[in-house]
Amino acid sequence: MNNMSEFAERTAVVTGAAKGIGAAVAARLATAGAAVVACDVDGDALHEHAGRLRAGGARVAEVVGDVSSAATAERAAQVAREEFGGAQILVNAAGIQRYGTVETTDEGVWNEVLAVNVTSIFLFAKHLVPLMRAAGGGSIVNVSSVQAFVTQTDVVAYAASKGAINALTRAIAVDHAHEQIRCNTVCPGSVDTPMLRATAERFAGDRDPADLLADWGRAHPLGRTARPEEVAEACVFLAGPRSSFVTGSEMRVDGGLTATAGVVLPEEGR
């Protein structure tokens, strides 16, 4: 659905907007008529993506900075207010992945993952909620993961952060429902992003990383990884008026991964 009127007169702040899911969300919202404040720590990639969107007629402002910093969140709110008159939408798509168990994960790595994946959501919501209140309501969408529910090995910090995102989402939803500010989370399975490709490169060994990506895709009942644009559609639905009675929810966009039992009946006897 590319309805230019759906998000007309609305402004969205999107974190992690330079690449992957965040970039797809920024593009989808811009296509639907929203003004976008795009935030990312990678200034070059952010400027390139924002430039492409502006070339297509989109209204996009850039905020370069560490999303786990209060100064970056405050700056994003300021830009939204000064350039677009406020904000009604926040999509927290920034995130990082690190590997290790509770024994092998360094305390600094633990703090880094929690800061980027969770504290950034707290900070951006803290600074954007007042703008939403002034606008008469709004929508916050937090990108979590199926690893809020199930987990692979060696991702203790990442899994903990994703569970925290879901709990934080519920708390924001309950605290601000009376102000018509909704908050929901999208929980993807494996998504073909630069982060996933970097993981494949790291763990492929002698294999072609593309083969490892294909294996991960086959673990999903739909038989493939998701495209960032598919996750963006869920985020935009939750950000917009079509989901006006949805808050505190967890939308799984995982190709059936968390619906799957590990026990498979043999072909013989079926």
Number of CB atoms found within 10 A of residue 51's CB = 12
Contacts of 258 (CB under 8 A, 6+ apart): 146, 149, 150, 189, 252
Between the two ends of the chain, the Cα-to-Cα distance in Å is 41
Catalytic residue among 7, 122, 124, 158, which? 158
Whether 99 is catalytic is no
Number of CB atoms found within 10 A of residue 249's CB = 16
Residue 140's DSSP bridge partners are: 90, 183
CA atoms within 13 A on the CB side of 229: 5
CA angle 25, 29, 35 (to 5 degrees): 120
Q: How far apart are CA 26 and CA 32, in angstroms?
A: 10
Positive or negative: CA dihedral 222, 225, 227, 230: positive
- Which tokens hold the place of 225? 């990884």
Active site positions, annotated: 158
